[in-house]
């Protein structure tokens, strides 16, 4: 059983996945942030690989990516930083990023290097279903990585089922059709999550986009297996002089 499965086996509600950007706020804070998240009680970590043109991200995560890039972060540097991270980090880690840098690195080499350092899964929002099925899915599988598809309130029931069948690890339910970091009315989100729940999917469902505090985390978790916090945590680190303390404080507020 892999690490992601293990998390959901031990805990099937209020699973907390937290997003952080590699190389942010400082080039070599990547590991420190991950360790702080684990110590503070995050169940999974989504580690973002910065990209010049992150279409699915809102201003906060875009900005963190620009800072990481100007700090000098690259995929090659990231794998160097992650070389021994499994000595200290035991929670599952999912790499999130965009197709272009991964293709440039070499898709297979990327999967192979990710698996070698101990990465558990991938989220590549602009890798489409057709290309996944015909070309890339087999490579991802070959290296034992999970692949997590996104679904939105606009995704048809038929398509949700197809994407659920292709996903392993969990399914990422975008709380509304929007870029990350957007505020939306949570009532409509609950109806949508209830709808997903009724489909009896194979994978656990984590809800992302717009989750920022205890209240949104709990309402998202009510009809799903947990939630993903991104922009709000990235913002909390923006001017941090003590990553450990600020991470603890942030997560403690969410889990209080």
The residue among 38 and 203 lying less far from another protein, judged by its C-beta, is 203
The residue among 138 and 245 lying less far from another protein, judged by its C-beta, is 138
Binding site for another protein (CB under 8 A): 51-53, 55-56, 58, 62, 66, 69, 74-76, 98-105, 125-128, 130-131, 149-152, 154-156, 159, 163, 174, 177-179, 182
The residue among 49 and 91 lying less far from another protein, judged by its C-beta, is 49
Q: Indicate which residue of 43, 57, 164, 246 is catalytic.
A: 57
The secondary structure of 51-88 as a DSSP string is -S--TT--HHHHHHHHHHHHTT--HHHHHHHTTTGGGT
Q: Shortest distance, CB of residue 31 to another protein, whole angstroms? A: 20
Q: Shortest distance, CB of residue 190 to another protein, whole angstroms? A: 19
The residue among 112 and 179 lying less far from another protein, judged by its C-beta, is 179
Q: Shortest distance, CB of residue 52 to another protein, whole angstroms? A: 4
Residue with tokens 């980090």: 89
Q: Shortest distance, CB of residue 77 to another protein, whole angstroms? A: 9
Q: Does the annotation mark 57 as catalytic?
A: yes
**Cα–Cα distance, 247 to 16 (Å, whole number):** 14
Q: Indicate which residue of 5, 32, 39, 46 is catalytic.
A: 46
Q: Does the annotation mark 113 as catalytic?
A: no
- For the annotated catalytic residues, the residue numbers are 46, 57
């Amino acid at each position: 059983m892999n690490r992601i499965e293990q998390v959901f086996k031990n805990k099937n509600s209020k699973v907390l996945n937290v997003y952080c950007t590699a190389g942010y706020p400082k080039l070599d804070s990547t590991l420190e942030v991950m360790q702080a998240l684990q110590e503070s009680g995050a169940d999974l970590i989504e580690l973002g690989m910065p990209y010049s043109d992150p279409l699915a991200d809102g201003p906060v995560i875009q900005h963190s990516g620009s800072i990481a890039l100007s700090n000098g972060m690259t995929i090659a540097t990231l794998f160097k930083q992650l070389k021994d991270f499994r000595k200290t980090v035991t929670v599952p880690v999912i790499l999130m990023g965009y197709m272009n840098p991964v293709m440039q690195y070499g898709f297979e080499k990327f999967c192979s290097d990710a698996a070698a350092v101990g990465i558990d899964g991938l989220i590549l929002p602009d890798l489409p279903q057709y290309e996944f099925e015909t070309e890339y899915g087999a490579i991802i599988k070959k290296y034992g990585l999970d692949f997590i598809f996104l679904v939105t309130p606009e995704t048809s029931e038929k398509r949700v089922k197809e994407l659920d069948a292709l996903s392993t690890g969990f399914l990422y339910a975008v709380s509304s059709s929007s870029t990350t970091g957007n505020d939306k009315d949570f009532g409509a989100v609950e109806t949508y999550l209830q709808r997903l729940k009724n489909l009896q999917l194979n994978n656990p469902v984590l809800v992302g986009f717009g989750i920022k505090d205890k209240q949104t985390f709990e309402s998202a978790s009510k009809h799903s297996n947990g939630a993903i916090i991104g922009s709000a945590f990235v913002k909390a680190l923006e001017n941090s002089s003590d990553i450990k303390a600020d991470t603890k404080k942030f997560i403690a507020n969410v889990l209080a």
